[in-house]
Chains A and B, each alone.
Chain A
Amino acid sequence: MSKTIKIVTPDNVEIEYTLASVGVRAAAAGIDLLIHGAVILIVAIIATFILLSNEADEGTIYSTIAIMFLIYGLLNYAYYILCDLLMKGQTFGKKVYKIRIIRDNGEGITVAHAMIREFIRATIDPLGIGFILILFSKKNKRLGDMAASTIVVEEEKMTLSYLDLSYNTLGKYDLSKEEIMLLQDYFSRKEMMEEGSRKNLQKKLVQYFVKKLDIQNIVEDGDGFLKSILQ
């Protein structure tokens, strides 16, 4: 069961966020690290070519090393801050997994939050403290989240099509909510049922719906019929 957190909007309505789980956050962090790794690899390959070429004089060699230092510094200190600010609380990894950093009160993060999170990530998190804390924290917070009072939440993705699925009987067959849920339950669990009792249940359901919907034809394919009234 995923953890949720309630936030009261300015309209005084409570909305519920789902907190991003530890696994998803680790995966997002992994993607960011992959990006870092890819950049470093490319730079290293280019640098190797430059350094191995015969024309490289002392000046070029030192400049190459200097540029590598700068890229390391940018990746280590600027990447997360810039991403968080420009992509509104997301890095590329977080974007892939559709999670976002927000403040405890539901507002967006500012420069201050991004910096606190990043500085702690760069200095203390490599010691592993951040990861241990996240496991014990009530709101899945690492040390940077605690100091900056931020949480990482899932971007909700339920769209109208989901609603259509739940209410798609509108107009076609007049089923009640309970009946739809019963049918959905039946289809999601029928694979796990024992053959005899499944047939028994299917028969009962078909009988019930035939009677309710006043269907004249003789129903041969029970599952097909039940599916058709659900769709």
Chain B
Amino acid sequence: MAREENYVSQYKPQWEQLEEYIKTIDKKGYSNLSAKELKDYLNLMKRVSHHLAYSRTHFTGSPLCQYLNDLSVRAHNHLYVVKKSSFKEFRAYFTGGFAKRIQDNKNYIIAAFLIFIAGFILSYILVLTDINNAQFFLPGEYIQQTDWELSDSAWKEEQFFFLSSYVTINNIGVAIKAFVLSITAGVLTTYILFVNGALLGALTSLVAQNSSNILYYWALILPHGIIELSAIFISGGAGLRVGKALLIPGQYKRKDALIKNAKEAVMLMPGVILMLIMAGLIEGFLTPANISITFKLIFAAGTAISMVLYMIIPRKER
């Protein structure tokens, strides 16, 4: 008999054994293998890689090489590709990892904040000098129809849940866009931040000029706005980081800088999404509710303080 067939018949039992293990893992996962079996699996896998290397040299181009390659791929997949992310990791992220990442990226987040504020101040001043300038930022009809006293809520209690879910989904979309569109070297991220700042600036300016009690306005915006805007700044900061990596890749190639920074920056997004869900719940249920302004403003201050505390406490683990 030819050497190759000898080789096959000699080692076939081992390959059968390995296929058996792969099938078990496929169906029931690692936890059903005993420690001894697991060791056996790793051992077999190593052996099969040797068989593959051997047959590549001695039986070049034969079906055996193809088979052993496929077997190695499957075994490799199960050892290295099939990775489970645990609930523990998830919890660790929200109790510490997210705050740590905010601290690591604080310069980018502050930059995002400044771009937003620049838009805010510019439009505020523009509208202050000439109220007609507000048309640049807000639809004309909206400006004319709105009752700037803002004293009674336009939303009924039945609509709260709807408002909450709509606002949350919409905001998450904006945050993701602010992050992803940074692939334009940060240009569109900057644009989104600036325009949103300008929108808020124009609105604030209009209210300041028309309303008798501006506290109504702040009570309408701040309870959810502090968390919501912070989330937008964080995702904007994540975007700016990617944009900077594309503009100034440093020692890396542009593509590698993009990959590396995108991977680190994107880990801010789960936190951002959670913040937006919280903000959405507040915006849907608390902001339009019939509660005194004082309470709403105290609540807003509370969100600000707890958020700053969460971000400021020094974190070690990643």
Contacts and interface: CB of A to CB of B under 8 A. Distances in A.
The answer to whether A and B come from one shared complex is yes
A159 B70 CA distance: 8
B49 A106 contact: no
Contacts of B185: none
A163 B64 contact: yes
B212 to A, nearest CB: 32
B161 interface: yes
B307 interface: no
A17 interface: yes
A9 B69 CA distance: 12
Contacts of A134: none
Contacts of B181: 123-124
Interface in A131-176: 143, 146-149, 155-160, 162-163, 166-167, 170, 174, 176
12 contacts: A9-B49, A58-B156, A62-B162, A73-B169, A107-B83, A108-B83, A122-B176, A123-B177, A147-B183, A160-B12, A160-B16, A163-B15
Contacts of B84: 88
Interface string B249-276: 0000001001100111011011001000
A209 B74 CA distance: 38
Given A11-B46, A119-B176, A69 B266 contact: no
Contacts of A108: 80-83
Interface residues of A, number: 58
Interface stretch (B3-11, B114-122, B130-138, B146-154): B3-11
Contacts of B162: 62-63, 65-66, 69
B176 A11 contact: no
B58 to A, nearest CB: 12
Contacts of B255: 146
B199 interface: no
A88 B82 contact: yes
Interface string A56-87: 01110011011101101100010000000100
Contact of B266 (A15, A73, A119): A119
A155 B255 CA distance: 28
A177 interface: yes
A11 B165 contact: no
Interface of B: 1-2, 4-5, 8-9, 12, 15-16, 19, 46, 49-50, 52-53, 62-64, 66-67, 69-74, 76-77, 80-85, 156-159, 161-162, 164-166, 168-169, 172, 176-177, 179-181, 183, 255, 258-259, 262-264, 266-267, 269-270, 273
Contacts of B77: 100, 102, 155
Nearest to A157: B70
A174 to B, nearest CB: 6
Interface stretch (A20-28, A37-45, A109-117, A212-220): A109-117
Given A123-B180, A170-B9, A63 B161 contact: yes
Contact of A15 (B4, B64, B76, B168): B76
Given A88-B83, A147-B258, A156-B73, A119 B158 contact: no
By Cβ-Cβ distance, the 6 closest A-B pairs, closest first, are A156-B70, A59-B158, A108-B81, A62-B162, A73-B169, A13-B49
Nearest to A107: B80
Given A15-B76, A112-B267, A160 B9 contact: no
Contact of A158 (B67, B76, B159): B67
B269 A77 contact: no
A16 B74 CA distance: 11
A51 interface: no
Nearest to A87: B82
Contacts of B161: 62-63, 66
A183 interface: no
Nearest to A57: B158
